[in-house]
Structure 1
Amino acid sequence: MAFSAAANQQPDGQYRVLDKSWEDIQQKASIWTFANWISTKLAVRGIAPIKSLATDLSSGETLIQLLEIIGDESLGKYNKHPKLRLQKIENMNKALEFIKKRGVNLTNIGAEDIVDSNSKLILGLIWTIILRFSIADISEEGLTAKEGLLLWCQRKTQPYSADFAIKDFTFSWNSGLALCALIHRHRPDLLDYWTLDKSNKRENTTLAMNVAAEHLNIPKLFEPEDLVDVPKPDERSVMTYVAQYFHAFSGMDKMDTAGRRLGQFGQVMHAAWEMQNDYERRVRAFMAGISETQKGWAKSSNFTEYSEAKQQLTEFDQYKRTTKRGWVAEKRDLDALLGNIQTKLKTYNLSPYVPPAGLATADMESSWTQLVRLEGERKQKLTSVIREIKETLKKKFATAANQFQAELERISASLASLEGELEGQLEAVNQLISKLQPLKTHLVDIENLNSECVQANIEDNEYTIYDHSDLEFDWGLVSQSLSKKASFIQNQIVARTMTNVSPQQLEEYSETFRHFDKDNSNTLSRHEFKAALQVQGYTYDEGEFDKIFADVSKGDDIVSFEEYITFVRSVEEDKTTPEQLKSTFKTLAGDKVEKAVEYIFEWNLHLLNSPHPSLSTQSYITEQNFLVGGLQPAVIEMFKATLPKKEGVEGGYDYVAYLRKVFAN
């Protein structure tokens, strides 16, 4: 039942503010709230709720039952169902004595006042009991019960302070938001504060009271309108109701505190447990890694190749820079971790940690000492083997190089001592060439040995003065000498058949041929052949040269020494053929031919009697041309006397007509 709305509503919608009326309203609110509060406490023992605060307490029996419940203590023997006034006063005195014993000073309240149903004093007594047994134990920073409860409410609702402010136990609660905030702060699963309509005071208050009654065992001591629809909510009623929230949630806080303490202890133990597990796991991994590395060294302890030994040494150095340094850091971390574990346990007065067998500090030190010893042995063996392999490589290379050079020198000596018939010398040279060619394979082997020495960082070899480049160079020289010697002998055999060529001419031809035979193949390519002819003084246009090269090479793409000598000899041989003589006259005549005339004299002499239609009438020679050609004076005079004069050219002689006449017969 609510007292405020009906008692205070005016026709114009304004609240009455008369002091007497307001005092009555407040008193009625307190009576209703206190009666409900007492009924909720009595319900713990299944005692029926009181109907009238004034009359139901007058026997003292109900008050004693209330005090036993909230005081958690028996008051002893008392008069049950008293009929006499004296019995009721005895009960009441027992109750009041118990209250005084709990440190509550009851001023101007006597047993007779309660027995006689003095409503005002009964309200004062119940409020005193509420303060002592429900609110007095609320303490926040040493403040009074009221101030402590207020501070607790303010702290718990601080995250929601943007919507309201708790300053008292009257107006601060009439929106219902403070109650909703307290519930949401402790039990956010029961309502969603952030979705509330902040302007709907009645709905918010009703929601909070219903949730509190249903889920938090906080009974309604008054109706929502006693907060919402009154000018000023009753302070004592609000304090009594809000105190129930404190007790409900303080129980949760105690659970939270116990859980927090146990959680903190559990966190300490869990942290220590994790540190111990981490230590054991890492020590096992640390020692397993060392063991695995040592097994790997044992498996790769025999090697004969430098590359393998060098690879092992490189891997060992890499291990020292990476894995070993990681282990050094890990070992120190493990020592520090073990110390931290012991310190943590000692801080909380817990028993020290004893690592499992095989994982103690002594076990780790033993494994580490063995590792350091095996490292030294490994490094010593690797460097020793590498020294031996280097020594073997140097000797192996030196033996091959010295033998190779000795064979080259034998071939060179044999080449230098050749004598006798040309054919015999040529056969001997070919035999030397057949001996030289297999050395090319040996040179490849020496190159491979040299590569091994380079890979082994061998910079000097005291067992030989030769390196691969020296031998390759010498082999090339000997090969070139043999090739040149073979070509020379072959050319000499050819030259021997050239009886109509003087030794001086033959030497000149040979020297020219050798000069342009760049690859020592004893042949000339098309380009080399053309260059050799130009050096000899013979120049031809492309058409002429193409025909000559095709004839001389017999359709091949190279010209041999014999073919070259034969052609040059044929060009320079003193023959009185029409073609050669015409070319000779033309050469001496120089540039007096105004028109380029090309006339091919055929070997058939009858063609000389038939003038070619393209023959220029300007072909002639002069006495000056004969002098430039170095002809003897007598020969010049003979030609002047026998060559017909060229018509229209003073001092010119028609050598074409002369040749027709001379070769006509």
Structure 2
Amino acid sequence: MASGGAEEDDGGIPLDIDNMHMLLQVEHDQIQKRTFTNWINAQLSKRCPPSHVSDLFSDLKNGSQLLDLLEVMTGQPMKRQRGRGVFQQRANIETALNFLKKKSIKMVNINIPDIMDGRPSIILGLIWTIILHCHIEELASTLSYSSCHSSLDSLTSLDSFSGSPVPASPVHAGRTSPLHKHFRISAKKALIMWVRDQCQRAGCSLSVKDFKKSWRSGEAFLAILCSLRPQLVDLSLVRFRRNQENLEEAFHLAERELHIPRLLEPQDVDVKDPDEKSIMTYVAQFLQYSNDMPSPDDHLQVPQSERALELTSWLQQAYQELSEARTATKHSSFAEKYQVRQRTSSQRIEKKQQL
């Protein structure tokens, strides 16, 4: 830092606080543009037929890709105006914004003319609103109280990362209620608690406190990978590599082995002040992968029709055995009848547990 409290750029020109803030905002906007574009294209690739966004700020002007995105995210068809005229573009954007408003999503300072003009801050704000409410919050709603129980003792430690208090006692609800609703915490906090849970399962001692500097070393990404697919990652090597080497391995493995789209590059994260929204967007994909993973014993699951046949067959067999035992012990002593009853009872209990 210079004596005047300003920092110099590479050219030796002193930068005041306002200029530093502006440069940081430009850097974040560039990272967000790349991340959000990659995220949108990952969603639009699921569409039939798929569509594509080349330039985030110009391609959303006609409203068509915006409606495509909402169709993929919600599974609901969107009525649209065909044609490339200003009227059609305005109508499509209005349809998209009205749809979001009907879902009780606040659209702060996001209006049709700014989207049609391709204003970067407005476009980025709109896409982040869609990501947060239609993707991250939807995923957070799948996190139950019981699924993150190992992280609940660290609820209060999230205060420093958000600045908002956590209630001392949970809302009256079942243990399997959504985590972020059960404890009145945001989807952001619920997601970070899920991350902590994954780190703990992977045996990683890293304390993830935010979606910024906690991710710079790449260890948190690798810990999640190790939790989801233990054979992929050797966490003992993390501390002997540079940040960008760890980040590159994490992003490469996630794309190759888990088919998680590569939204970020190592140089996007290994910076003094990583972009929170971009990292949250990427991390949410790991939660989505976790939700889509089959249960460890799914291959053992028997179809309900087969279970019903098995149960019916056993009931018929048990009835037959009981009838035969009753006939055979009709003239037996009480002690003999009791022994037969105990034997058949234990068999029923064992079979009941299996079914």
Output the TM-score relative to the length of structure 1.
Answer: 0.39
Q: 2:27 aligns with which of 1, 25, 28?
A: 25
Q: Equivalent residue for 1:64?
A: 67
Counterpart Cα distance in 1 of 2:197 and 2:91:
45
- Displacement of 1:185: 1.3
2:174 aligned residue? none
Pair 1:130 & 2:99 matched = no
1:186-237: CA deviation from partner (whole Å, max 9, x where unpaired):
2224x1334433242222211111111122221111201211x200210000
User: Partner of 1:34 in structure 2?
Assistant: 36
Counterpart CA distance in 1 for 2:261 and 2:9 is: 27
Q: Is the 8 Å Cα contact of residues 196 and 204 (structure 1) preserved in structure 2?
A: no
1:123-163 Cα offsets, whole Å, 9 max, x none, are 11010011111111113422321111111111122134543
Match of 1:237 in 2: 278
Number of equivalenced pairs: 295
Q: Which amino acid aligns with 1:222?
A: L
Q: Partner amino acid for 2:213? A: F
More displaced 10-residue stretch of structure 1: 192-201 or 97-106: 192-201
Distance 2:267 2:276 in 1: 15
Aligned to 2:87: 86
Distance 1:337 1:34, change over 3 A: same
What is the CA distance between 1:74 and its match in structure 2? Answer: 1.0
* Match of residue 96 from structure 2: 95
Quick check: 1:279–1:334 contact (8 Å CA) kept in 2?
no
Whichever residue aligns with residue 71 of structure 1, its letter is T
- 1:339 to 1:31, Cα distance in 2 relative to 1, 3 A: closer
Instruction: Point out where structure 1 has 5 or more consecutive residues left out of the alignment.
Output: 1-7, 287-325, 351-665
Write out aligned runs for 1:602-621 (5 A): none
Note the C-alpha offset of 1:105. Answer: 1.6
Say whether 1:175 aligns with 2:214. no
Change (3 A) 1:279 1:47: closer
Structure 1 residue 163 and structure 2 residue 164: aligned?
no
Which position in structure 2 is the counterpart of 1:76? 79
Residue of structure 2 equivalent to 1:104: 105
CA distance in 1, matches of 2:191, 2:245: 25
1:101, distance to aligned residue in structure 2 (A): 2.0
The Cα offsets for residues 493-549 of structure 1, whole Å up to 9 and x where unpaired, read as xxxxxxxxxxxxxxxxxxxxxxxxxxxxxxxxxxxxxxxxxxxxxxxxxxxxxxxxx
Question: Partners in 2 of 1:151 and 1:205 — Cα distance?
Answer: 21
Instruction: State the alpha-carbon separation in 2 of the partners of residues 130 and 110 from structure 1.
Output: 18
Alignment of 1:201-350 (within 5 A): 201-227=243-269, 229-252=270-293, 255-256=294-295, 259=298, 262=301, 331=340, 333-337=342-346, 340=349, 344=352
1:509-524 to 2 correspondence within 5 Å? none
Moved more, 28-37 or 153-162: 153-162
Per-residue CA distance 1:317-338 (angstroms, 9 max, x = gap): xxxxxxxxx9899535314325
Cα distance in 1 for partners of 2:53, 2:348 equals 68
Aligned to 1:639: none
State percent identity of aligned pairs.
30
Q: Structure 1's 111 and 177: CA in aligned 2 closer, same or farther, altered over 3 A? A: same
Instruction: Go from structure 1 to structure 2 and tell me whether the alpha carbon gap of 1:92 and 1:336 turns closer, same or farther (over 3 Å shift).
Output: closer
- Give distance in 1, aligned partners of 2:24 and 2:213: 15
Task: Indicate conservation of the 8 Å contact 2:204/2:223, yes or no.
Answer: no
Residue 107 of structure 1, CA deviation: 2.2
Distance in 1, matches of 2:206 and 2:350, equals 49
Q: Is the 8 A contact 2:217 2:246 kept in 1?
A: yes
Q: Secondary structure at the match of 1:33?
A: helix
SS at match of 2:94: helix
Paired residue type of 2:34: W
Give the match's secondary structure for 1:63: helix
Q: Is the 8 A contact 1:181 1:193 kept in 2?
A: no
Q: Would you say the 8 A contact 1:272–1:341 is kept in 2? A: no
In structure 1, give the amino acid aligned to 2:264: F
Residue 56 (structure 2) aligned to one of 53, 56, 59: 53
Q: Deviations over 1:300-326 (max 9, x none)?
A: xxxxxxxxxxxxxxxxxxxxxxxxxx9
Secondary structure (helix, strand or coil) at the match of 1:256 reads coil
The residue correspondences of 1:579-658 to structure 2 (distance < 5 A) are: none
1:279 shift after superposition: 8.4
For 1:185, the aligned partner's letter is S
> Does the residue aligned with 2:129 lie in a helix, a strand or coil?
helix
| Structure possessing the higher radius of gyration over alpha carbons | 1
- State the AA in 2 paired with 1:235: E
CA distance in 1, matches of 2:230, 2:284: 20
Q: Distance in 2 between matches of 1:328 and 1:54?
A: 84
Cα distance between partner residues in 1 of 2:260 and 2:9: 29
Return the offset for 1:238. 0.3
Which structure 2 residues correspond to residues 187-586 of structure 1 after superposition, within 5 A? 187-189=229-231, 191-200=232-241, 201-227=243-269, 229-252=270-293, 255-256=294-295, 259=298, 262=301, 331=340, 333-337=342-346, 340=349, 344=352
- CA-to-aligned-CA distance 1:239-259 (integer Å, 9 cap, x gap): 00011111111111xx32994
- 2-side partners of 1:77 and 1:116: how far apart? 20
Aligned to 1:455: none
* 1:222–1:341 distance in 2 versus 1, CA, 3 Å: closer
SS of residue in 2 equivalent to 1:70: helix
Contact 1:218 1:244 in 2 (8 A): yes
Question: Residue 339 of structure 1: CA displacement?
Answer: 5.7
Q: 1:339 to 1:218 in 2, by over 3 A?
A: closer
In the alignment, what sits opposite 2:332?
none
Give the match's secondary structure for 1:89. Answer: helix
Q: Residue in 1 aligned with 2:154? A: none
Letter aligned with residue 134 of structure 2 = F
State the 1:178 CA deviation: 1.5
Q: Deviations over 1:19-46 (max 9, x none)?
A: 2211111111111111111121122235
> What is the identity, as a one-letter code, of the residue corresponding to 2:291?
S
